[in-house]
Structure 1
């Protein structure tokens, strides 16, 4: 494994170098948070796709493919569809607002109290997005190199924290482009063909797996619908994704390059599901299906090539980890911290400090959570359950009020937590009940409370 370790170390070092170049370009507050709002099609497409496709969509989709067959691709399909919808229909009005966070839309439509309440929910979501990918990094390094899990988390996650802290969005953009290329080559053009070759080709894959593994609905319609309820709508309102939209040079860049990124996500999901299916044939008796990705990499690839694919997997995970990390720190510095500082806006130095502190918090949480899909589900349940209804209401319903929005956020968030605790993180009830209760409370409280005099951001 010495050659593989060398390749991974070279990759990690290159991320730190790119982080340094990002630091040199991040000269202002706007540069640090949204790359100066100046990304062209290639950079925008690469950073958008890299942000969405992280640890859960890579390690998690391979696991789903191992268990459910080709239908495991629906997780990535829901994410990709969300990216397409966001860039086609919401990017234009969002770019006109010249804002930094999702919650600023709520302040424009309601009042500062709604912004603060929603910021707490968004912070919890963004932290868990970072945790999810740090967990995946730790899992891969632990299985492949035999490192203790805590060492794997601190080493892999530490690289992410360093380059995110020093350069902000410019560092993330530069590293994302390299990560996008590496994971495309490593997973779609190296690992997938080699896995199919080891199985004996497509015909042998079909012969050795049950026919149900090739059904696109094997995973179950309830799960498919839940994926869209959670991930599709989560993409539409997630701070980590909106922050990428804010980096586009103009609306055409967002619409065309963003749509391409969405279709790429769907193809990526199909590739990862097929890798999981091949892993089921080659390694039918895994003790822990969460390790399906790392196990198939270790078993099927030669030295050196294995290191490149490990780097590809780490690229996918680090891009999403850094996105969640910067999103969480942006919510802190733009939405919550000014409230404590009497309205004083954050500086570039404050942004860097809080990105570092947020990174340390993400690493700490990752050491006590152990399931990537569950962590991702937790994040999206809290986000969608708490914020989807009041945010859509802010945009489309003139009668919506601040009281209705805050009640919807609070009850939706609490309901999601209660049902996740009661029925488990993999249950469908948290998202269904939180949306239902959030909608009812939003409508009823808005109708019973005083009608707003103005709808500042209805056009948003």
Structure 2
């Protein structure tokens, strides 16, 4: 594995070098958080796709393909559909607002208290997004190089923390483009064809797997609907994704390049599901299906090529990890910290400090959580259950009030936690009940409370 390790080390060094160049471009607060709001189509498309397709999308979809066949692609399909909808329908009004965080919309529509309450939920979500991809990085390095899990997390995650801290969004943009190219080549043009070749071709894959593995609904309609409820709507309101929208030069860049990124996500999901299906044929008796991706890479690829594919997987994971990390630190510095500093806005150095501290927190959480899909589900359940209703109400319902929004956020968030604890992270009940409770409380409390004077709905 020496050659593979060398390739991975070269890749990690390259990410740090790009982080340094990002630091040189990040000269202002706006540069650090949203890349100066000046990305063109190529940079925007690459960074948008790279942000969404991370550890859970890669390792998780291969696992779903291993277990459920081609229908495992629905996780990425839900994410891709969310990206398309966001860029086609919401990017234009969002770019006009010139904001940094999702929660600023709630402040414009309601009041600062709504912004503070929603910031806590968004912070929890963004932290867990970072954790899921750091977990996936640790899993891959552990299986392939035989490193202790804690060391894999600290080494792989440490690279992400360093380049995110020094250059902010410019570092993320530069690294995302390289990561986008590497994971496209490594996973879709190298790993997938080699896996199919080792199986014996498409005909042998069909012959060796049950017919149900080729059904797009094998995973179950309840799971497909839940994926859309969680991930489609989560994309529409996630800070990590909105922060990428804010980097677009103009609305046309967001609409066209963002739509292309969404379709790319769907194709990526199909490729990962097929890799999982090939893994099931080649390695039918895995002790832990969560390791399906790392196991098939280790078993099917020669030295050197294996290192390139490992780098491709790490590229997918690092892009999402850095997005969650910067999103969490942005919520801290833009929404929560000014409240503690008497309204004083954060400087570039404060942004860097809190990105580093947030990165340390993400690494710490990753050391005590062990399932990428469960961690991702936890993040999106909390986000969608707590924030979807009040945020959509802020945009589309003029009668919505601050009291209704806070009641919906609080009760939706708590309901999601209760049902995740009661029924488990893989259950459908947390998202359904949290949305139902959030909607009822939002409407009732808004109707019973005083009507607000300001409305962001008019602005967008």
TM-score range, shorter chain: over 0.9
Distance 2:459 2:85 in 1: 17
Distance 1:53 1:454 in 2: 37
Cα contact 1:183–1:316 (8 A) shared by 2 = yes
Q: Secondary structure of 1:127's match?
A: helix
Deviation at 1:452, TM superposition (A): 1.3
Distance 1:167 1:360 in 2: 17
Cα contact 1:395–1:459 (8 A) shared by 2 = no
- CA deviations 1:343-367 (Å, max 9, x no partner) are 0000000000000000000000000
In structure 2, do the counterparts of structure 1 residues 187 and 456 end up closer, same or farther at CA, with 3 Å as the change threshold?
closer
Q: Secondary structure of 2:458's match?
A: coil
Cα contact 1:128–1:378 (8 A) shared by 2 = yes
- CA deviations 1:99-129 (Å, max 9, x no partner) are 0000000000000000000000000000000
Which residue of the partner structure matches residue 89 of structure 1? 89
Cα contact 1:7–1:304 (8 A) shared by 2 = yes
Q: Secondary structure of 1:186's match?
A: helix
TM-score (normalizing by structure 2): 1.00
Q: Secondary structure of 2:457's match?
A: coil
Deviation at 1:459, TM superposition (A): 3.5
- CA deviations 1:138-192 (Å, max 9, x no partner) are 0000000000000000000000000000000000000000000000000000000
Cα contact 2:398–2:457 (8 A) shared by 1 = no
Q: Secondary structure of 1:368's match?
A: coil
Distance 1:456 1:28 in 2: 27
Matches of residues 145-156 of structure 1 in structure 2 within 5 Å?
145-156=145-156
Q: Secondary structure of 2:275's match?
A: helix
Which residue of the partner structure matches residue 71 of structure 1? 71
Which residue of the partner structure matches residue 243 of structure 1? 243
Cα contact 1:34–1:246 (8 A) shared by 2 = yes
Cα contact 1:21–1:167 (8 A) shared by 2 = yes
Distance 2:457 2:155 in 1: 44
Distance 1:391 1:161 in 2: 30
Distance 1:204 1:142 in 2: 31
Distance 1:453 1:162 in 2: 44
- CA deviations 1:367-425 (Å, max 9, x no partner) are 00000000000000000000000000000000000000000000000000000000000
Cα contact 2:128–2:376 (8 A) shared by 1 = yes
Matches of residues 256-275 of structure 1 in structure 2 within 5 Å?
256-275=256-275
Which residue of the partner structure matches residue 430 of structure 1? 430
Cα contact 1:108–1:457 (8 A) shared by 2 = no
Distance 1:283 1:456 in 2: 54
TM-score (normalizing by structure 1): 1.00
Distance 1:143 1:114 in 2: 44
Distance 1:148 1:457 in 2: 51
Distance 2:104 2:397 in 1: 17
Cα contact 1:109–1:458 (8 A) shared by 2 = no
Which residue of the partner structure matches residue 56 of structure 2? 56
- CA deviations 1:280-300 (Å, max 9, x no partner) are 000000000000000000000
Cα contact 2:134–2:318 (8 A) shared by 1 = yes
Deviation at 1:454, TM superposition (A): 2.6
Deviation at 1:457, TM superposition (A): 4.1
Structure 1 portions without partners, runs of 5+: none
Q: Secondary structure of 1:216's match?
A: coil
Q: Secondary structure of 1:342's match?
A: coil
Q: Secondary structure of 1:457's match?
A: helix
Q: Secondary structure of 1:234's match?
A: helix
Comparing 445-454 with 426-435, greater Cα deviation is found at: 445-454
Deviation at 1:7, TM superposition (A): 0.1
Deviation at 1:455, TM superposition (A): 1.5
Distance 1:455 1:167 in 2: 35
Deviation at 1:453, TM superposition (A): 2.1
Q: Which runs of 4+ in 1 moved over 4 A?
A: none
- CA deviations 1:34-70 (Å, max 9, x no partner) are 0000000000000000000000000000000000000
Q: Secondary structure of 2:306's match?
A: helix
Q: Secondary structure of 1:313's match?
A: helix
Distance 1:370 1:442 in 2: 35
Distance 2:310 2:224 in 1: 29
Deviation at 1:458, TM superposition (A): 3.7
Cα contact 2:395–2:456 (8 A) shared by 1 = no
Deviation at 1:451, TM superposition (A): 1.2
Cα contact 1:56–1:132 (8 A) shared by 2 = yes
Distance 1:455 1:260 in 2: 32
What RMSD in Å do the two structures reach over aligned CA positions?
A: 0.4
- CA deviations 1:324-350 (Å, max 9, x no partner) are 000000000000000000000000000
Cα contact 2:48–2:244 (8 A) shared by 1 = yes
In structure 2, do the counterparts of structure 1 residues 341 and 457 end up closer, same or farther at CA, with 3 Å as the change threshold?
farther
Cα contact 1:131–1:375 (8 A) shared by 2 = yes
Cα contact 2:105–2:456 (8 A) shared by 1 = no
Distance 1:116 1:453 in 2: 20
Distance 2:41 2:392 in 1: 28
